[in-house]
Structure 1
């Protein structure tokens, strides 16, 4: 008798996993005694060894599958984040930013205004027609964009989202008949 099939676990996300690893390493190093410091150093060495091992394996996979099949992998957030983490992603940062934004544009339409690789700041402009400019809507969009970028383009360290604000309506212009003048009053 076989066990019932369970639903597949959700794929881990690179940002969450990275933060979790950092928290664990910080906890190990945080107690301050000599034994804990040695354990923290050993844990960091273990993480580096595993990163090197998995990075070498991913590099080999990318070489073996060839260019045509690589494209299918690049759209997967988990695979893309692993390739970026190991500096194996074949696309440049601008292309990866575009790919990340494509995953959220249906709900949060934005255009890229510019990316500064020195500071990691990505400037975006909301193109949402009739957007209300509500702070909660802008915050939701910002969070969705940052989550997508953490997988595809971790070089982006900060997102500046300028929301389009509607131009103020012009004042109502009252048009009426001209008052009579001396020349027309006779």
Structure 2
């Protein structure tokens, strides 16, 4: 289960507690559990050798937990690059605006490949700071062929 899926399930549970004091109790429960798990993860991250932690950063569940608890050792730029590198099709980063969370990307080749949903899912795990993706299409190449036959020429 991904961090995003877990977050959605927790939000659904909290929505069921939306009446009166139950909602406050549910939110308090989530805060306490987050603090408990965050403290334990902090201790684990500090105890791991950097190489061992580095090997875990491509795992979506581990990356999601580290980002959620502000323990990921990479900055947002490196995490965006890591997410894009995990895609089956090369995608070029054109720019990221931390103020708006907008990320501009361009496919580096035309044709079938990963969908925008694939890109957004990878970014949600590694770089949840990205809140909007603008995907520019690769320019289409002009195909130059031979001259039409003489009988097809306009007179």
**TM-score for the superposition, normalised by structure 2:** 0.87
- Which of 110, 121, 135 in structure 2 is aligned with 1:147? 121
User: Does the aligned pair in 2 maintain the 1:108–1:141 contact within 8 Å?
Assistant: no
For 2:33, the equivalent position in structure 1 comes to 50
In 2, Cα distance between the equivalents of 1:81 and 1:52?
16
Q: Is the 8 A contact 1:125 1:164 kept in 2?
A: yes
Aligned to 1:121: 102
The equivalent position to 2:47 in structure 1, one of 48, 64, 75, is 64
Work out the CA distance in 2 between the residues paired with 1:69 and 1:167.
44
Gaps of 5+ in 2: 151-155
Determine the structure 1 residue equivalent to 2:8.
19
User: In structure 2, the residue corresponding to 1:51 is in which secondary structure?
Assistant: helix
Q: CA deviation at 1:39?
A: 0.9
The list of structure 1 runs, each at least 4 consecutive aligned residues, that deviate by more than 6 angstroms after superposition, is 170-174
Q: In 1, Cα distance between the equivalents of 2:16 and 2:89?
A: 37
In the superposition, the TM-score normalised over structure 1's length comes to 0.73
1:183 aligns with none
Corresponding residue number in structure 2 for 1:4 = none
Total equivalences in the alignment: 149
Q: Which has the larger radius of gyration?
A: 1
RMSD: 2.0
Partner residue in 2 for 1:74 = 57
